[in-house]
Amino acid sequence: MSQMPLFASPSETVLVDDERGRVAYTPGFLSADVVQAWFAELRESVPWKTQRRRMYDRDVDVPRLQAHFRLDQGDDAPDAIRVAAGKAVAFTGVPFNSVGLNFYRDGRDSVAPHSDHLDEIVEGFPIALLSLGATRRMTIRAKEPPRRVLQIDLTGGSLMVMSYETQLHYTHGIPKTRESVGARISLAFRVKPARDPAAEASFYR
C-alpha cells in the first residue's frame, strides 16, 4: 500500500545574502496535511498566554497570544513541537534549543517591527520561523541606508531562516491587516544561552 509522504521536499529561495545578513525562504517545508494537523494540535494543547506591555502611560495587551518552551531542559513541549524542531535542526544544521510560539487570531493581531535581543540568542546562530495556518505578510526593513524593504508572504508550511547578522541590520514584523485572514501560528526557533532559572522569557510587542 502506498503512503503519502509525511513531509514535502522543500526547496529554499535565498532572498538576501550579503554582509548585512542572509534571509532564506522555503515554502512547502511541511505538507498541507501536516500543517493542518499541527495547527489543530498546537491551538488546543499549548498554554497560550496574553502578555501585557507598558505603552506610554498605560498597560495594553500584546496583540497576539504567546508561549515558550525550552527544548533542552525538560520543558513539556507538545509532540508537534518536538518533531518540528527535529525537522528544523535537520534542515538547517542549527542546534535550536528554544521555541517561541505566536498565535495570530486574525488580522488585528500583529508583531511590531523588532530585532531579536542579542543577549538572548547565541552569537552566530540564525533564527528560523515555521508558519502554520493562514498566510501573513512579514516586513523586513534595513535599519540603516542603503534602504531595503522585503515583503514576504509567509505561507502555511513555510520556513524562513534569518542569519544572526540580520538581527543587527534589519527589523522584522508582521503588520496588522484589514484583509480577512484566518488564524496563524508561528514557531520561532532559536539557540539560546543556558537558562538563568531566575530569568523570565521575554516577548516582543
The site for ligand AKG (CB under 6 A) is made up of: 100, 102, 111, 129, 154, 172, 174, 186, 188, 204
Cell numbers placing 17: 545574502
Least distance in angstroms from the C-beta of 76 to ligand AKG: 21
Of 5 and 202, CB closest to ligand AKG: 202
Of 1 and 12, CB closest to ligand AKG: 12
**Coil, strand or helix at 25:** strand
Q: Compute the CA torsion angle 22, 38, 72, 111 (nearest 10 deg).
A: 50
Of 88 and 154, CB closest to ligand AKG: 154
Least distance in angstroms from the C-beta of 40 to ligand AKG: 18
Of 5 and 117, CB closest to ligand AKG: 117
Least distance in angstroms from the C-beta of 190 to ligand AKG: 9
- Distance CA(136)–CA(153), nearest Å, equals 6
- Distance CA(56)–CA(182), nearest Å, equals 30
Residue whose beta carbon is closest to ligand AKG? 186
Residues 169 and 20: beta-carbon distance below 8 Å: yes
Least distance in angstroms from the C-beta of 136 to ligand AKG: 7
Least distance in angstroms from the C-beta of 184 to ligand AKG: 7
Residues 83 and 42: beta-carbon distance below 8 Å: no
Q: Where does the chain show beta strands of DSSP type E?
A: 13-18, 21-26, 49-55, 58-70, 98-104, 111-114, 127-133, 136-142, 149-154, 159-162, 170-174, 184-190
Of 3 and 136, CB closest to ligand AKG: 136
- H/E stretch holding 122: none
